[in-house]
Amino acid sequence: MIDVRGLACPMPVVMVRREMEKNSPASMEVLLDNQTAVENVSRFAGSNGYQVEVRPAEDDEFTLVLTKQG
């Protein structure tokens, strides 16, 4: 799980990109705490071949479940 709570964009996208480049995971979870980061990470992941599932958590937090397609 990548925890990017409290980080302003573009850092959440940068951290997800690093994980993708380093490990090329089949799936990963990203913990976020703002809507802008949810949108940016979702867009980035989608453009890199990942299906995105947004799971709202408590206190304005979200978990993104990214799953590699194909």
Catalytic choice (2, 5, 7, 9): 9
**Bridge-based pairing state of the strands 2-3 and 27-32:** parallel
**Residue 9 annotated to the active site:** yes
**CA dihedral defined by 45, 64, 1, 22, rounded to 10 degrees?**
0
pLDDT tens track for 22-49: 999 999 999 999 999 999 999 999 999 9
| Confidence (pTM) | 0.94
Residue 70 predicted with pLDDT over 90 = no
Question: In order of start, what are the domains of the chain with their CATH numbers?
Answer: 2-68 (3.30.110.40)
pLDDT tens track for 2-23: 999 999 999 999 999 999 999 9
Per-residue pLDDT at 23: 96
pLDDT band at residue 57 using 50, 70 and 90 as cut-offs? confident
